[in-house]
Every structure is written in structure tokens, then in C-alpha cells.
A and B are shown apart, each in its own frame.
Chain A
Amino acid sequence: MIDLKNVERSYKTGHTETWVLRRINLTIREGEFVTIMGPSGAGKSSLLNALALLDDSWTGEYWFASTPVHSLNRKQRADLARQRIGMVFQSYHLLDDLTVAENIDLPLSYKNLPSKDRGGMVADILDRFQIVAKKDLFPNQLSGGQQQLVGIARAVVHAPSLLLADEPTGNLHSTQAREIMDLFVELNKAGTTIVQVTHSEENARYSKRIIELRDGWMTRDEAPQPLPSEVGAQ
């Protein structure tokens, strides 16, 4: 689904050029659940932003389901992202003056769908995530976990092929974090390709592949190591 070839990204400040991504060559197949890890400043978020088509300033080749993203202009990239990609943020980034249902409806409103269809899609997602009772509440009336749930619902309401999550459990406590990760596994089983950025080893184990970045270089690309308890159980 995703094919990156020699993707690089740098920031110029004055006379200094800082490289945040160095010769990234990466292939992610459809249906994979991939974790990107690394220390702070390794380039994780930069890679995620490039995958999400939020960042235009990288060089190299980026193929998204055989579409050459590197050849598309800004508008075409935005159209592609709108159709095929969903994003989950660490800080949820829900809009405070919109209800839960309205927040979930937001990405649908940009797709020129009839409001009847949109209503149906929102209702399905609310039901699927078991947050129907909360549909008229505002974000500040929800707990952190519930807000992140709504964030994920918003990201998947338009059935994207690719779900990107930037530290999705960073602001949650462990119980909530587990619930969120279980949800990701379910979505992945249903066919959504998921790429998450996380610091948490535990969260990384929910995925099937870990990519490690250090100083912008890809240093590791392998299956997650099982916990000693899991090894014993095996």
C-alpha cells in the first residue's frame, strides 16, 4: 500500500540544515499494523506527517497504492488524504464547540456527501464505538479516554484505507490505553492498515511490525519481541 523510496526531510534555520529523515526506504503492505518508535527527535512525527500528506517538503518517492504522491500537486494530495487517510492525535484535537456527533461528522462534511448519508454513517460509528449516549455531549464533558475514542471514531468514519496514530495513548492512563489499543487491533483485523507512533513498548506489541528511527535513519524493521511472560506461555 505504501512505498517510500529515499524519502528525506530537512529544516533550514539560517545557515544550518537539520535532517529529520534520512534515506527512508519503507514498504507497508495493506492490512499491516506497524509501529514507529524511537527517541525524541528521531523523526517519528516527521515520518508520520509525511505519510499523512500533511507535510509537502520531503524529497524522494512516495507511492500510495500505486499513486505517485511525489508527482501530485498540493490540491491533489489533499484530495487523496481526504479520501484514503484517517489521523488520530495524541491531544485528540476535538473541536470544543462541536458535539461528539458533530466532531465525528466533520471529515464527512468535507466530502460533499448528502447529509442523510452522513447522518447514517455517524450513527453507525457511534453505535460501533458504543458512544451513542454521548453523541450530544461536548468534548469538555468527556474523560480523556472517551475523547480519544471520539477522535478515533472521527478518523475512521469515512472508512479510510490507512489509519495513522500519533501517540494515541500518550495522554491516557493504562486502562484506557489498553482499550484504545484493543480497538486498533479490531480495526486492523477488519482490514484497516494502521501505522502508529508510540514510545510505549507495550503498545508496540499490539502491532505486527516495529520500525525504529534514530536521528532520521531507519535502524530497525522487525516483528515485536514477545515479553518473557509471553515466551513462557508459548
Chain B
Amino acid sequence: MVAVAIPWREQLNDLNNHQSAFLTLVARLKPGVTRPAAEASLAPLWHSLRAYELTLYKNHSERFKHNFLDTSHLKVIDDSRGFNPDRLNLQKPLAILMSMAGLLVLLCAVNVATLLLLRAANRAREMSMRYALGARRGRIISQLMIEGALLGVLGSVSGLFLAPVVARILVRIITNSDPGAEPYSASVDMRVLLFTLGVSVLATLFFSIAPVFHFLRPDLTNSLRQNTGTLSKDSQRFRKLAVGAQIALSVLLIGGAGLFVRTLNNLRHEQVGFRTDNLIQFGLSPSDSGYGEERSVEIINSSIAALSQIPGVTAVAGNNDPELVGDSETSNYSIQGYKAAEDEKMNFEEPRITPTYFATIGQPVLAGREFTTADTKGQPKVAVVNLAFAKRFFGTPQNAIGRQLAEGGGNVPFDITIVGVVGDTKHTDLRTKLGPAVYMPYLQQKHPSGLMIYLRTARAPETIEPVIRQTMRQLDSTLVVNDLRTMEAQIDHSTSDERALAFLAIGFASLALVLAAVGLYGVLAYSTEQRTREIGVRLALGSPRSVIVMLVVREMAVIAGIASMAAVPAVIALARLFQSELFGVTTFDPLTLFTAVFLTVFMLSIAAALPARRAAAVEPMQALRTE
């Protein structure tokens, strides 16, 4: 016996409404039945259901029938991990973040390898002594690997302890959620543990091997004598490569972060096509409070009237297809005198709006008028189209006024008159401009439902929010004020993914830059220390101190310059790879590239300043005595 559980928010009417698509069906496969087999076996059932549904559409074209029936199929997807559209939306951003994290791990490993190699250079005599006293190569290698492994274990364990705390804080910041109400779990389970272990082992192996290579075939004679004042060529080569790699990775990460930050900035400053200042919105759905659709219009009208009386509120209106929330309500239309091509899509966004909607949200009316209270049920059907619609089908906004539309295809009466043309807007999100759209009066809707109510205020919206709740409570205490927020907050909300990406990218890039700077500082500091005698000799022979500074930093400056330039094509390639996540940013964005290189060079200059200063302050007398 199957009990039917009806979602508490929806009424039976929606179950009977063949145009209503709000349910996700979940089923369990019989043992032995695969997903493709289930999909194939459901196809005939789906086809027959669609054939029946088609009969309920009184007027439709052949093309509509083809799209609705012939090319439609039921998709069966794996629900063993739950169904969450966010997972699909976040796949690419998460892949980007994972790549950045991977690059950061690589940078860390190179950094530690460099520092271990610097330390190894100091231990040349010790290791050579061990070899000279009879130590086998394997013994030396295992000693070095164990030392590296200890570092790796220490780092990994510390990271694992910190990870849940940091992850929870990050999720809270990114999703703007309250403590305990984070939408994503940040707990460390076995999968996270094993993954971290795997990455740690790889990173540890990488940086532990560097000093091992240094001591595989030591030059015992020279090392035991250790009568060298300058660095060996092999060590120098690796250090240069390692520092160069770190700098290049930093530029890459900073460039990536720059692209995402610019994307976020572009989105935030994107013109949406209506006035976003002093605009508040909230969702109002009479059905949530148990009212049927026959009372929806009355309740909505009463609410709008009550809200209009609030001091400071200059206009109130509603829309069943809210702006910038990711929703879409479309319907099929035919245009009198226009024959659509066979494959031409005639589905357009179809928001249902209350009178004075455009005036309320500040969307310009380019021709004709907007809806009034006279445009109600029983009156001639009217529509307002947007500029994209008018241009596409009529050439100019003026030409669109008075033209006739019909809802649906096929032999349908053209009983809808275009009375106005409004400017284009962003609708689903900030990235996508709304294509051709047909606005219809809410008051003429066959099955009126809940709306997003918009209020234009004369003063700061935040001051009016409590009054809105109070007004609605006074009107009807059962009515629920959903998601009350300003339009600015809605825009912020709609860019939360981009903001999260930018925030994390900045974090990774900053860490990378600090690591590269620390790496460079370590190499330069060691180099300066090792070259103390050389510096002392040069000073004793008459070298100006400025020449000494140039000597110390020049080599690294050249490496930094080459590495930065080498990273620029990588940033461009990255931009191409993640083009879909960017907005208003070209793949060859000069500002981002320049900023990435400039910031890296600036930070590295700071890192080099101290060793350079130390080099310049060497006293030749002391230096020559050091030997």
C-alpha cells in the first residue's frame, strides 16, 4: 500500500495542473535492474502520459507537438547521494577551487623542498663524514626520508585538526549562514581523511627527495674540506628553478583570483535594467496560509493596498516570476502575421505582474503604457513586451503597440493586444540578459498563485522592514512574509557563488604569495650568509655597497622576471578554461595580468629587502674573519 504524502506547501490543485512542474519523483530500482534499463522501460509510459497531456492543450502547432511528445524523454538519474541542483551548479566552481588548492599544495611542497635543500647544503660535511665512516647510501637516504616524513606528518596532522574549524568558518562566511545553520557539512570523514593522507604522502615524498638527490653521490673530498665561499652549481640550479616555480605559481594564483574578483565586481556593478536602490522585496504566497487560488487575487490586492499606506513607501507591486532569484516562467506564444521557422523557439519568459509594476521597480516604459487595475479578468487580454521582443518581431517599440499575440501555437485566436513596451532587464541572474519576454497581468491569470511583492521606498529600506512585517501581521496574522530583503541584498545573494569563489581564490593567492616570498627570503638570506666571505672580499677590494646589493638580488630579480612572464600565458590559458565562470573579463585582461605581476614583484621586493640590507651592512673585517 502506497501512502501519498502531499508536500505541505502545495495544494491538490497543483497536482491536477498539467502545467505545474514542481515535483521530483524518487523511486527504488528492483534488484538487478540498471539505471539505463529503468529509463528504457519507463519511456513508453512517459510517451503515453505526454500523449494524454497533449490532448489538454486545445491549440498547438505541429512543432509544439514534436517538441512536447516526440523529442521528450524521461531521465532517470542516480539519487543515492541525494538530489541537489546545487551540486550541479557548484561542480565547475569546486573544480576550480580544487585546482587552486592543488597548486597551493604543490607550491608548499616546492617551498619546503627548497628550504630542506638549503639545510642539506649546510650538512654536506656531516653527510660526507657519515659516508667516509662507512654509512651505506640506503642508510643516508632513509635518514633523510624519515626527517622529511616527520615534517610531513606534523604538517598533515596539524592541518587535519585545523581543517574542520577553518572549513566551518569558511562555509559560514561564504553562505552568510548562522552558526549551526551551515548548508554544507564541513566534517572530516573517512573519505576526507584518506584523500588528505594521499596528498600528504605525495607532497612529503616530493620534498623529502630533494635533499636525497643532493647526497646520492657526494663529493667527499671537497665536502670534508668545505673550503668553499660560494654555492655549488647544482644546488644553485635547483634553488633557482624552485624559486622560479614558486613565483610562477603565485602569479598564476593571483591572476586567477584577479579574474574572479573582477568578475564579481563586474556583476555587482552590472546594470540590471531597473532601479535597485530603495527597493524591498518579499515573497507572499496565500496558499502557504491555506488559502485557495480563488482568494489569491483578493489577498494580494489587500496586501498591496495595506503596504502602500506605510509612510515612506512610494509604490508597491508584485511579480510571480521574481527578478534575479534564478527562477524562470515561460510560455509558448504565436504572433499574428509572423510565421515562425520550423526550429524557431517561440517560448518566452512570461512574468505575471500587478498594475504599476514597472513604475515600482523603475523599469522604463519605452512605448505605450503599463497595466492598470482595469486590466482584470473578463476584460480584453493585454500584454506588455520588452524591447528585445519588440525589436525581434516588429523592428521598433512603436511598431509593437497594438499588435496581437496568442498564447500557444497552432490554430489559436490572437486575442492578446500589446499595450506597452518596456526596457530590457537582467532576470534570472546578473549574467544573462532576458531575451524576448511577454509580461501579462496577474489579474488576468487563470490560476493565480503567490507573488514576490516589491516596495519602492523614499527612505532607507532597512528602516521599513519591521513596519512591513507589522502591517502584514495586522492585515492577516496567518500570512507569511518570506525572505524579506532589499534588492541590493538579493543581488548580493545572487552573486554568492562568485563571491565565494573570489574570496577563496584571494585566500589561496595570498597564501601562495606569502609562501613564495618566504621561499625567496629563505634562499636570499641563505645565499647572503654563504656569500659573506665573498661580500667581504668584494668590499675589501673596493666594491660600492650598492653593487653588493645588486649582486645579491640581481639573480633572483631575473628569475622573478622570467617566472612572472612565463606565468602570464598560463593565466590566459586559465581564463580560457574557466571562461564560463567569468563575466565582463576577457581572457587577455591587461589589468588582471598587470596586477598579478605587480603584486608578486612588490611582495618579492619586500622579501628581498632584508637580506639585501644585511648584505649591504656586511663589515669586510668581520666577514673575512668569519672564514
Contact = CB atoms under 8 A, between A and B. Distances in A.
A41 B538 CA distance: 26
A93 B533 contact: yes
Contact of B541 (A91, A106, A140): A106
A81 B539 CA distance: 10
A111 B542 CA distance: 8
* Most chain A beta-carbon neighbours within 10 Å: one of B222, B541, B543, B624: B541
Nearest to A55: B621
A154 interface: yes
A82 B624 CA distance: 17
B93 interface: no
By size class, the interface of chain A is 20 to 34
B221 to A, nearest CB: 10
Interface in B531-562: 533-534, 536-538, 540-544, 547
Interface in B593-627: 619-621, 624, 627
A54 interface: yes
B314 interface: no
A91 B534 CA distance: 12
B527 to A, nearest CB: 13
B547 A49 contact: no
Contact of B624 (A93, A96, A110, A111): A93
Interface residues of B, number: 20
A142 interface: no
Interface string A33-49: 00000000000000001
Classify the interface of chain A: helix, strand, loop or mixed.
Answer: loop
A52 interface: yes
A110 B541 contact: yes
Contacts of A140: 222
B535 to A, nearest CB: 10
Contacts of A81: 542
Contacts of B619: 54
A82 B542 CA distance: 5
A96 B543 contact: no
A104 to B, nearest CB: 11
Contact of B547 (A91, A93, A110): A110
A107 interface: yes
A64 interface: no
Contacts of B540: 52, 54, 87, 93
Classify the interface of chain B: helix, strand, loop or mixed.
Answer: helix
A78 B544 CA distance: 8
B164 interface: no
Contacts of B621: 49, 54-55
A95 interface: yes
Given A49-B621, A55-B621, A95-B230, A110 B542 contact: yes
B228 interface: yes
Nearest to B222: A140
A87 B621 CA distance: 12
Contacts of B541: 82, 87, 106-107, 110, 154
Contacts of B620: 54
Interface string B465-492: 0000000000000000000000000000
B542 A91 contact: no
A54 B623 CA distance: 11
* Most chain A beta-carbon neighbours within 10 Å: one of B228, B536, B538, B540: B540
Nearest to B627: A91
Contacts of A52: 540
B627 A96 contact: no
Contacts of B544: 78, 110
Given A54-B620, A54-B621, A91-B627, A96 B228 contact: yes
B542 A96 contact: no
A97 B229 CA distance: 9
A89 interface: yes
A168 B230 CA distance: 22
A96 B542 CA distance: 18
B621 to A, nearest CB: 5
A97 B232 CA distance: 9
A97 B530 CA distance: 13
B538 A106 contact: yes
Top 6 closest pairs, chain A to chain B, by CB: A82-B542, A107-B541, A110-B542, A93-B537, A54-B621, A97-B230
Given A54-B619, A82-B541, A82-B542, 19 more contacts: A54-B620, A87-B540, A89-B537, A89-B624, A91-B627, A93-B536, A93-B537, A95-B230, A96-B228, A96-B229, A96-B230, A107-B541, A107-B542, A110-B538, A110-B542, A110-B543, A110-B544, A110-B547, A111-B542
11 contacts: A49-B621, A93-B537, A93-B540, A93-B627, A95-B229, A95-B230, A95-B534, A96-B230, A110-B542, A110-B544, A154-B541
